[in-house]
Every structure is written in structure tokens, then in C-alpha cells.
Structure 1
Amino acid sequence: MTACTRTAGCTGTVIATGHCDRCGLAQAPPTARVGRTARPVATRSSQQDSWLVASLVSLPVLTFSAGQATTQPLDVPEQERFCAKGHPVGRSRAGRPGLVKGFCPRCRTPFRFLPGLDPGTVVADRYEVVRCLARGGQGWIYLAKDAHQDHIEVALKGVLHANDEKALAAAVQERRFLNSLDHPNIVRSIDFATHDDPVTGPTGYIVMDYLDGMSLRSLLNAAKDPRQSDVALPLDHILAYGHEILAALDYLHRRGLLYTDMKPDNVMRTADRIKVIDLGGVRRADGGHAGLVGSTGFMVTREELQERGATPRSDLFAFGRTLAELFRHRTPGPDTPGAADDALGVESFRRLVARATHPDWNRRFATAHEMSEQLLGVLREILAGAPDQRQAEPVSLFQPAARLLDAGLGVVLPLDTWTVEQDGVVLDHGCPTARVVALGLPVPRPDPDDPAADELRAIEAPDAQSLLNKLATVPQQSVEVELGRCRAHLALDDVHSAAAALAAAGTLLGTRAEADWRLAWHRALLMLVGDRIGDAAKEFDTVYADIPGEIAPKLALAYCAERLGDDASAARYYAAVWRRDPFQASAAFGLARLRLAAIDRAGAVAILDEVPALSRHHDAARIAAVRVLSSRLAGGRPAAVDLPTTRDLNEAVDRLATLHLDGGERHGEARERLTAAIREVTLDVLRSGAGTGLVPGPVFGAPLTERGVRTLLDRSYRALAQQAHRAEDHHVLVDRANAVRPRTRW
């Protein structure tokens, strides 16, 4: 041993490590450069293969090779260097770089901030180290070969240090549960080994499958690198990765485990799989937080940990921060208009992240499964495209709505259209009343965990009063029963009782009431019935924030915006719903109304034509298209009327011939009324002098003249008179026939 010469006045001795046993400094300053390892470079598979996530997103298969230009340093930043007892060590001083190994000057414990295992080192007489791969949150990660398994490649993740063998043995036994984990999105842990490190003492290593790929952190860095053109990070890919990560978290949470250290660095993108790695922080969900592994910027607050401990919601908080980090570095994706910055799908994504990372524990997603359902809804919204690419929505938090919110635009004109003594009637655009919408919006599905869930599933009632009678027989106190009462009272126009039932539901929820979106939904319904459209919109927006992947809140917000005169917002919401689900015909009719308000007759018909043949509202859309093509529209000036063109009328006649009306009868009552409506407007067009181009036929007559159309309209009115059930209505229709009949000499 020799005397220390590094620091003036030091009386320490240089020990075998080359460091002074008193000041802890090495006798020669270490070089500024430390070991570095190459990051992989990703390229698309030459076969252009892909793999499908959630039956929605096709991700390319990637191949990985060692990069030459991008490397990762294998040391620890100085600000993160602390000894085992928490004292700062290895810091720069007087222009000299900090030590990467040595002894703490205060407590004399050894430290080292370089990989502890050299190539060739054998761990547990089985795993031969090949090289260091990276630095994890708790220790170094090494590539090794398993001598007992044909030298297959494995990864060694250092996680545990202990000063005595008993403590290490207990820790190893505690972490054996990792070997029982088996999920396609979690790296497989196959063993737990120990190795006696000369500096830090006995060290535990999780032995995992070696994955060929790159972390999401590396992927987002590569996506910004112009030299890696095959790597992209569009929003739909981010959500696809998120879906796979949530599946892994859900698997852990259902087994009473927490991951604790979710971040982009701890998720691997392999050729055709997403894998959660670095299981060093996995722990049992026992409500504690001592020794919790986590990363700055991804962990919940210290106050929350002290109050509630680590929970699945803290895992989901870190996952939300992970999504936000990936989103900040996203790249444009091809053919995903829903991912444009101003698209509603992007707003829905932001709300998804906002709920996951809400500062209030109660407002966050409670389970990974719950968040996954909303994430998939947002993903469908972003991927929504052309009519022929739409798919029906799977089961959501709402039951399908049977009522079409069209205010009668999709039905044949009733007979009283002609018996109220009005001429030149302008087409009603079909905006339903707020009360009709409140009763016609989708109904939330009952909570399966509600104490009365079984009884509610068995209840069938033909009307609201019958429903109330049956709900009165349910013995349990139940939030869902009170919400059912609320809706039934609204249907009976008993707003006071509806409000009382909603208040009772809030009382049963107690402290959870503020965070329960069902209460906000029903408050909005109450406000709609009272025609308080602005207040209802605020409540629906709260629901949207809580369940951003659902369609129903957007449909409700679209109607509120339409009623408030905000046509741009209404169109944005309606279009988002309609592009996503072709069976949401109420959204199609909403868009058609907005087109009609802009006197865009062709645009309204084009939207109505998108309602698919399998939809229960397909016939209503076809009838509405005939009415739109053959009706007077309110013009852009007061009292102005926009008449259809002869082309519109010809198309209306052609479409009328294809409608299945009156059970298939050729001259049924509904067909007679539509024919009369077309002939009325045709007469107006002929009077205006714009009748050139009408195609002669059964509706217009041949030859096509004003006199000929008057004769046909006379017949129509007399046919309608035969449908009248009251004498006064019959007289009105006969008078109409006489008024329009061409004059004759006798």
C-alpha cells in the first residue's frame, strides 16, 4: 500500500481498488469518456409483413441491427450519484470530472457507477456475461448466455443489493413470484440469480428473456432521426402501443401486483410485439410505498403516496404520462385524418390522458380495463374514415338508442299537412325538441357491480309507469334503480320527482358522487327537459371528459351546439360520430339538417345516402332524401324560398319509385301523399318558368305542361280526401282540388 497523493494533506492509504481509504479519490483522474453501447436501428421487414392490434391497427414488422451513429453512455449522470446511504458522491470539483467508483467520504461505503459485471463473468455458475446493454432504474442490464440452455441469450437485470446473505435470501424468495408471470406483453422472467460484487456486495439479478428491439424511448428518438425513415410514431401507433401496455398492466393488477415504474424506457418494441420490461419495481399491491421504484415526471405526488400508497391508479397515472410523452414526439401518419391537430379524435386523446393523470385520485380511471375501453374508443375515432370503411361499434357504456332524432324528417308527410289551410309550406329541417332528445339519447348500461344488477336485468316494462311500478319492488338500495326512476319520471314529465331520484342516487354514492359521470349525464337530461341547452352542454362536456372514447356524449354535445347556433361545433361532433359508426343515423340526420340550413340540398342528400341498408333507419333516410329533393327550402333572405331544380325533381321521382311503402302497394296512402307533395312543388317550378328538363311520366304527366300538372294535382288532392277521417278535413282537401283544377268551359 502507498500513501495518497491525490489531495494535499490527506493521510490516507491507497487500497487495492486504487482509491484512498480516507478521501475516497482515485490516484489518477478518470478519463471523461466511459463505455458506450450502440442503440439498435429499426428497418421495415423486407416482406412488408404486419401485425394487427385490437383488430384496428396494422403495425409493420421491424428488424433491428446495431447502430453505428447513435450510442448510449454506460455511466450515471452526476446528479444521480449517491452512495448506499444517500450521500451525494462522484461529483465534479475544481474542473475535474467526478469519480465513477470509490468510497463515500462521509460514511466510507463503497460506490461504483459503471457496470459491475465484465464480459466473461459467470453469474450463479450459469450465466456468462456478454456485454452491458443499458442502465435501468435499479441497476445495470446485461446480455448473457445460459450455459444450461444451449447458450441461449438472456438478459440480467440487477435489482437487489444486501449486506448480509440472510437479507438477500429473503429478498430473492420474495421476488420468485416474477417467474410465475406469463403474458404476451410482459417480458418473461425465468430465474433469479445472485452474484457477489466486490464493491457493492451480494447482488440479485432477474433473469429474463432477451428481446431484440428498441425501447419506446429509443423509438421516439429514432422517429425524429431523418436517417431512420422506416421508423414512425403516428398517433394511431401510440394508441396501439398503449392498448398492449394496458393489457399487461391489467394482467398484473388482477394478480394483486403493481408495476410502479411505467415510462417509455421500460417498454420494448420488438419485431411484432410490445413488451413491458424491467420488472425490478414490480411489487405486491399492499398499499405501502416504502422502497417504491419510480421515475421523476411519471410518479404521483409524495402526498398521494403518503395518503393512499401505491395503487393501480398510480400505475395508470404513470401510463398516462407515458402516452403524453409519446404524443409530444409523434410523427404524421398516412391516411389518418382523425389524427390531425384540429380533429376531435386528438381532443379525445388529450382528455384520455387528462383523466389518467388527474391530480384527484377519485377522478382517475380505476382499472386498466376501464381505461383500455376508452382508449379503444379514441382509437376508433382517430381511424374513422370513408363510409365503406366504417364498422359498427362494439359494446360500449351505453345501450343502442332505438329512437331516431329527426323530428319526422324521415317519415312521409301526415295528412294534416294539407288540412291546415297552408300553401307553400317550407320543409321543416327536422331539429327535434330538447325533451325528445333527452328521452331519445342512448341510455347508460347498468353497472354490473350494482347491488340490484340481477333484478334490473330481469325487468321488462312497456312504458314508464310500468317501469316505476316494477322498480318499486326492488328490495336493495341501488344507484341504478334511482337512475332508472329518474329517466322514467322524465318520460312522464314529472321533473320534480326525476330530480329527487337523481339526488337519491347521489346520496347513495356519497363521496364518489362528484366523480361519477352517470350523475352528470342525468343532470344534463334534466336540463334538456327544461330547455336549458347551455347548462346541459356543460354537463355533457363533463361526461365527455370522463369517458372520452364514448359516442353518446359527442352526439349530445352536437345537438346542444346545433341548438345554440354553433354550426361549426355541431358539425364537428356530428361528423366524428358519423364517421365512426354507420348505425348512428341520428348523427347523419344532424349533419343533413346543417346542410339544409346552408341551403345545400345535394350535400344533405349525400349524407342521408350514407345510411347503410342494414340500419333500422335506412328507409327513413331514403324517405328524407325524397322530401329534401322535392321540397321548398328556406332561402338566405327573409321570406325567401329556394325551389328545387328540375334535376332535383327528376331524381326525387326516380327515388320515389324505389321506396317500399304501404306494404308494397303501388297506390297506397303514403305513396299518394309523397306524390302529391312532389306535384305541388312541380307546379311552383313550372310557374317560375324553370320547368325545362322535367322528364314526363306518371308523376309529372305527359305532355308535361302546367295544365297537365294541375290535372294530376287535382287527382292527388281528391285521393287524399279519401284518406280523411273527419268531414271537415275531407271538405278542405276537396276545396284544394277544386282550386287547382284547370278551368274548363263546363
Structure 2
Amino acid sequence: MGDGTLIQGRYRLLERIGRGGTGEVWRAKDESLGRRVAVKCLKPLGTQHDHSFTRVLRERFRREARVAAALQHRGVTVVHDFGEWDGLLFLVMELLEGRDLSRLLEENRGHPLPVPDVLDIAEQLTSALAYTHEQGIVHRDLKPANIVRTADGTVKICDFGIARLGHDAGFTARLTGTGIAMGTPHYMSPEQIGGDEVDRRSDLYSLGCVLYEIATGAPPFDLDDAWAILVGHRDTAPEPPRNHRAELPGYLDRIILDLLAKRPEQRPDDARELGRRITAGRTAPAHLPALVAAGPRTPVPVGDRAGLPSWTHGMTTGHKATGAGPRVTPPDPAAGLTGDWTPRPAGDRAAEPVPARLPDPVPEAVAGLAGRHNAGLSLGRLGRWEEAGEVHRAVAAERERLLGPDHPDTLASRYEAAFTLGRTGHAADALRAYKGVAEARIRMLGADHADTLAVRQEMAYALGRLGRYADAHQVYASVLTARERTMGADHPDTLRCRHNLAFNLGRLGRTEDAHRMAREVAAARARVLGPDHPDTLVTRYEVAYELGRLDRWQEALATYREVAAARLGVLGPDHPDTLAARYETGVALGRLGRCAEALTQYERLIDDRALAQGPEHPETLRARHGLGVNLGRLGRWAEALAEARDVCAIRARVLGPDHPDTLVSRREVAVALGWLGRWSAALAEYRLVAAAREHALGPDHADTLVARDDEAHCLEQLGRAAEAAELYRRVAVQRAAAPR
């Protein structure tokens, strides 16, 4: 087997990227879907195995591969396919662009990772383990080499299910005397070493070993003799991590030691609760860590082999993540702030009063604020924007006190606080906060500094959210000019600004201009970032949207389908962006009159959204709304009415009775009632929609006027022609007077 091998007529092996005790991992191409994947090929089954063993192993592989394929979590590697080819068992997985923790430690020359990175990795790992444990799955082989951190900071656990297969097959082999090597013992729980039954608490012990290593630079029992390691896991209390690295937070030290308890019942029982402990520690007020003197290390009795199972005879230590032992490490500049910074030269700004010198900040306090800042970022990545905002506002206030109001790190916290305001629907507050940060950055860093341009671009986005598209256009155009001058036309940040400008042009009604610019940006991003890069696909999605607005639905449908297929390969089936492209595909099908196809599209999408995001998630309800619309287009009005009423009731409860989506559903209820000839009931619904929109949007808003038109039409159907004519007249006058 080598480069170019085609497995099952579909998966072309391109480059071997890993080799281990159970097989090889290859970078490959799925020829059917045109996407890049990773293919794990397990070692061929040799003739030394009897047929019954081979049959059991194959069946176990299939069962465990199905288990792995059923796991859907951002922290677990996606399994696409599995099978057997020419006597070879293989597994097809998403191709991760990143480095495993073992590689990260090696590239860091044996030094531990920065404290904020350790905490972020710990939080993401506990989330992934909580999910898999809730599915009844135990990994059994958690170690740095099985944990990958991708380019965007996402942490993913590899080899779920298959790790268990290799583990079980290995034990069977040892008991039959075939001599298959055990592998590294550095991350094994005491019950694994003793051959006892293991459960999720064994994974938590291994997690403790991993966290110990990335926090200190070495595993808890970093010895050259395998027996000593095994006995250490079984009998010896590990040294507290803070003995080796004093700046580690006290709560992290306690969590790691709790995980490394010898007996399963003494460890935390639940990974989700463990994650809450980490988050609580990260967001707690900073305090100065006490220095812990390194005490004498309890020697591990190397010769004490009692109680260790016979299969451990002849075991070697195996490969661990890094060869360097633990050490007391000075604070890593990347782990926290130093308090040192350089404003732009005085000649670049007008003379201004020199601020009074602040007292030198305590390094530990500043580093603690850096940790809390990163905790806020992690909360944002989890979508917990309200909590993230509270953290960033508190950190901003403390940084201002310690570092001053114009320190870059103070401004960074104020920027993130503004960002959370935008994400929680407070666009006006976000705009004011961004404006303050922009003014300070212009004063201290200059108008063309990358940080200044970033906050000005967010100001433009907030203006767009407020419907001030003309103002947003001016800011975007100004930022784009500066980005092209300082960064170049093809810099990713320049292209992001051009994408936003294209989006805003569409909201200004300049659809042709928006379509042209979006196509140009999509082509540039494909050239610079690659055709399947998420940013390229975002712009192609915008191209499709503008095609729809130009009533070029056939082209829009083709583009949406291409984007959906590409996102499936790059992001996975349950990623929100993949699901969004599938939703728009349904919209395009409906607009083309292909309502039966649209109905099937929405039915599948509803199932997938409910599984990935929940049955009452706004996007799940949006897909259900699309289903109801197409039921009506097919003349199935009784079903359409039932669907619209159900979605309206849920939206009213989840989003509020006057939320725009709720009102759209209420209007759909009225439409269905009208088609069923129940005009009096329809009139009552139309009036509720019109009154709510008038209250929320104003009497002259386009959506309010549409609702009044609906109301007039209903009056007409009820034979109340005079009332209908008067209402039509009023709406026409308001439309004519409305600003354009």
C-alpha cells in the first residue's frame, strides 16, 4: 500500500501522515465528493489469528466504527465512513489541520504551554468528554497524541471507539501470547493497569495526566522504567503541579490532583461538572498565587511489582509527549500581559498632556487578568455572550485601574465587551462602545493601525445592524481604502472588509453592485485562501443570495448546492454554516416552483437541525416555517395551518410574542386561514401582526405597510369594500411619503 492507492474505488491515498502500533493514517481524497479526508488503515489481520478471532475483531471494528460515526460534537473528530478492503480495515475521518498536543509540547522544546492555553484546552476537553460519556462511550486511550488543536483553536479528540477496539484487541492478543506491544503507560489509570473494568472515570484520570503534562512539561510519573511508572500510577501520590510551576492557578492544581485520585470513586464523577469548575475558576476575581515550595518527591519503589498483571512483563515506557521533565518556569509572555507597551510615536499625534504615571502593576495580577480575558473569549466561542460580556467588562475595569485607560490591553477588553453587546442584540450600545475604543486607538496607535481598522470595521457592522446602511457604507469604504494601502488588496483582512462592503451594498438596494463585488471577492478568496476555505464559501453564499435578489434563482440554487456540498466536506454535516446553505437551497427550490423537492429538503433539514441544535432552536423553527410555506404552495392548507400555528406558539414562547420571526409565523397562520375561507379569523391575525409591527417598527416601516395591505385585502374578501379602500389609500399615502 502506498501513494496513489485507491481504496474501495473511492479514497485515493496521497501522503502518509502518521504511523502507530495499530496501523497508519493517510492524507487522502474522497474522489466521489472531491473533499480531503484522513484514512486510518488498521494493520492487516495476519494468518496467526484463527478465523473466530478474526470474525470477532471485524464485527467489533464495525460496531465501534458505527459508535464513532454517531458522535457529533465540535470536540470529537468526525467519522465519515468505514469498511474492509482487500483484508484491510479502514476508517475515513475529517482531515484536521493542526497539531496534536504531543507535537505542540515538542515544538515548545519541552516547556509547558501558556496557562491561558492550558485552561482553554482543559475546558474544551471536558466539554467533549461530557458529551461522549453521556452517549455511554469511554475512550480508554486519552493522551496528547490523540488530542489535536486546530488552526482556529478548536480542540478535538481523535480515535473514539477505535481506541477501544485497539485496546480490547491488544488485551486479547497479550492473553494469547502474540507479543503485541502495550504502548505508553504514562496516561493509564490504576484500574486499567490492574486489568479491572473501566468506566468514564478512567478517562478522567487520563485527562488529569494530560493536563498535568501540558501544565508542567512532563507527565505526573515521568520515569525511565515502565515498572516505576505503573507502580507510580498505582501507589504514589503525584506532586502538586504548582510545585513545578508556581504561577498555575490554585483551582487548576486542585482539579488535576482530584482527577489523579487512585480510586475511581475519589475522582470527579462528571466531566460536565468538571468543566463548570474550570469556567468558574477562570471567571473568578484574580488573586495572587501563593508560591509552593517544592517538597521532596516520594521515591517510587521500582522493584515493587506486586499486584501488576502478568501482561506488563517486558513493557517499555513507550513514547510520551515530551522528553523534558517538569521545571519551575518563569511566566511566559504569551501566557499573560507584561504591562509593557509602546504607543505610536509622539510626532504622529497632536501634543497632549502627559498622564500621571500609574504605579507598576503586579505581574501576577496582570497575568490573572489575561487568564480571565481568555476565559471571556472561551465563553464567547461557546455562544455564552451574556456571561462573556460580564467577564470582559470586569476585566476592562481592572485593566484600566492597573494599566491605564489607553493601554492596548485595556482597549482590547473594551473591544471584546463591545463585541458581546453586538452579539446580544444591543447594537446601539455596541456602536457607542466601539466608538470610544476607536477614538483611543486613533489617538494612541494611529488611524491606519490594524487594531484601529478592526474596531472601525466593527463600527460599520453595528451601523448596518441598526439599519444605517449609508453610514455603514462610508465607514466600510474608508477602512477598505486604508487596508488596501497598508496591507494590500489580497490580504485576508482587506478581503473581509470588501466582503462586508458587498453585503452592505445589497442592503442599500444596489443588488447588481453587491453581486459584482461579491463575485470578485469570492474569486480573490479562492485564489488566496483556497476554494473550500470557510471565508471563500461565506462569500460564495453571498453571491447566491444576491442572485436570488436578482431573480436568477436557477443560478442561485446551483451556487447554494455547491456551497452546501463544500461545507459538508470542510465543516461537517452539523455545522451551522452547512445547515444554513441547505436551508437556502430549500428557499431556492420553492422559488423555482419545485415545492415537492423543497418539502423533502426541509423535512431532512428539520431532523438534522433538531438533532444538532434542538427542536426549539430558532433555526430549527425557521426550517419548519419553510416546510409550512411549501405545504401551502402544494395546496395542503390544513397541514400548513397546523404547522404555522405550532411554530408560532413555540416562537412566541422562545423569542417573544412581538419578535419579527413570531410575527412572520402569525402572518403565515393568517394566510392559511384565508386560503381555507376563514376570513374573519384571518383578519384578526393580520390586525395583530400590523399592530405589533407598528409598535415595534413604526407606522411607516415597509413591513408594517405590508401588514396593513394584508388587512385591507382581508376586509375586501369579507365584503367590507369601503373600509378596504380607505385602508389601501392610507397605506399608499404613507408609502409615497416614506424616505427612500
State the TM-score, normalizing by the size of structure 2: 0.35
User: Looking at CA atoms only, which structure, 1 or 2, has the larger radius of gyration?
Assistant: 1
The answer to which structure has the higher strand fraction is 1
The answer to which structure has the higher helix fraction is 2
